[in-house]
Amino acid sequence: MKVSVGQFNPGGDVDGNLVVMRRLAASARDGGSALIVFPEESMFSVGRVEVDFAAAVDAQWTSFVQGLSLIASQVGIAVIAGGYESSGEQRPFNTLIAIDDDGRILETYRKLHLYDAFSYQESQRIKPGDGGLKVVPIGGLRIGIMTCYDLRFPEMARALAVQGADLICVAAAWFKGEHKIDHWQTLLRARAIENTCWVAAAGTSSGHCIGHSVIVDPMGVPQDFLKDEEEGIATAAVTRKRIDEVREFLPVLANRRLTSSYEVVPNITAPGGVDH
């Protein structure tokens, strides 16, 4: 199955962002892709919203999801993209939504690991998800989904692989900074190598983010990639055959002696201490 990652610079207007996503989705479909993965903040960039953030989320989440569904069904391609979903509280969820090529919602994933690092505190405005990990079937593959900072937690990718993920899709707005491109590229390749699975990562190309979207094979070899282009797609043929070939001579999942299990624990860095 051909898979594309779409890179762009989300603005503060949902409709305008959907126009760009439709253009990229159509380009991917014209190239034979059955799935396109878009970045975190595809709905809108927090820093570019001109009204109250929570109010914008309440007003725009449903129309964003409906817009994605229309793109998927009208273009004929499955879509994974990130936005902000109301939680019923002041802080919304940072949510990925997976939609099939008929426009049906397959799964939603609410970001578990909030970016409270490098002098940034995502938990001050975002509520952490507690719904666990998500693996969704698309086009004959099992696809695990994660968001940005999740990439720094190898146990999450391993749990997705143990649940049968052939491809891990990462939607990100990876901040620029010293060594940050190196971290991004190294972590993506490591997650692929240590789990002998494919990884497809879509990054935003805004002024404070690195872009560098890429698709990596189970040996950690980039198959197609972008750099800091403001808009574009990268595409690769993602196959079970390649996974089987690599696991024949590198059976790390079969050789492991420590079992994998996970428990979602409270977010201790949330405002006021522990987030229940």
pLDDT band of residue 269 (cuts 50, 70, 90) is low
Q: Are 11 and 221 in contact (CB under 8 A)?
A: no
Does position 148 have pLDDT exceeding 50, yes or no?
Answer: yes
- What pLDDT is attached to residue 165? 98
Please provide the average confidence, as pLDDT, over all residues in the chain: 95
State yes or no: is 231 an active-site residue.
no
Q: For residues 101 and 66, give the distance between their C-alpha atoms in angstroms, rounded to a whole number.
A: 13
Q: Which residue of the set 122, 127, 148, 169 is catalytic?
A: 148
**Number of neighbours of residue 265 by Cβ within 10 angstroms:** 9
Question: How open is the CA angle 269-111-219, to the nearest 5 degrees?
Answer: 115
**Number of neighbours of residue 15 by Cβ within 10 angstroms:** 12
Q: Which residue of the set 40, 41, 107, 122 is catalytic?
A: 40
Mean pLDDT of 228-245: 98
pTM equals: 0.96
Q: Report percent pLDDT > 70 for the chain.
A: 96
Q: Which residue of the set 41, 85, 107, 111 is catalytic?
A: 111
pLDDT in tens, 208-236: 999 999 999 999 999 999 999 999 999 99
pLDDT band of residue 46 (cuts 50, 70, 90) is confident
Q: For residues 198 and 169, give the distance between their C-alpha atoms in angstroms, rounded to a whole number.
A: 9
- What pLDDT is attached to residue 259? 86
State yes or no: is 230 an active-site residue.
no
- What pLDDT is attached to residue 274? 47
pLDDT band of residue 261 (cuts 50, 70, 90) is confident
Instruction: Give the DSSP letter string of 65-101.
Output: HHHHHHHHHHHT-EEEEEEEE--SSSSPEEEEEEE-T
What are the two backbone dihedrals, phi and then psi, of residue 136, each rounded to the nearest 5 degrees? -125, 140
pLDDT band of residue 268 (cuts 50, 70, 90) is low
State yes or no: is 176 an active-site residue.
no
pLDDT in tens, 25-34: 999 999 999 9
Please give the structure tokens belonging to residue 31. 């190239």
- What pLDDT is attached to residue 93? 98
Instruction: Give the DSSP letter string of the chain.
Output: -EEEEEE----S-HHHHHHHHHHHHHHHHHTTEEEEE--TT-S--GGG--S-HHHHHHHHHHHHHHHHHHHHHHHT-EEEEEEEE--SSSSPEEEEEEE-TTS-EEEEEE-SS--EETTEEGGGT-BPP-S---EEEETTEEEEEEEGGGGG-HHHHHHHHHTT-SEEEEEE--B--TTHHHHHHHHHHHHHHHHTSEEEEEE--STTB----EEE-TTS-EEEE--S-SSEEEEEE--HHHHHHHHHH--HHHH--S--------EEEETTEEE-
The maximal CA–CA distance of the chain, rounded, in angstroms, is 54
pLDDT band of residue 270 (cuts 50, 70, 90) is low
Buried b (16+ CB within 10 A) or exposed e, 41-74: bbbbbbeebeeebbebbeebbeebbebbbebbbe
CA 100 to chain centre: 16
Least confident of 29-43, 97-111, 145-159, 253-267: 253-267
- What pLDDT is attached to residue 75? 98
Does position 276 have pLDDT exceeding 50, yes or no?
Answer: no
Does position 242 have pLDDT exceeding 60, yes or no?
Answer: yes
Mean pLDDT of 113-132: 95
Mean pLDDT of 28-41: 98
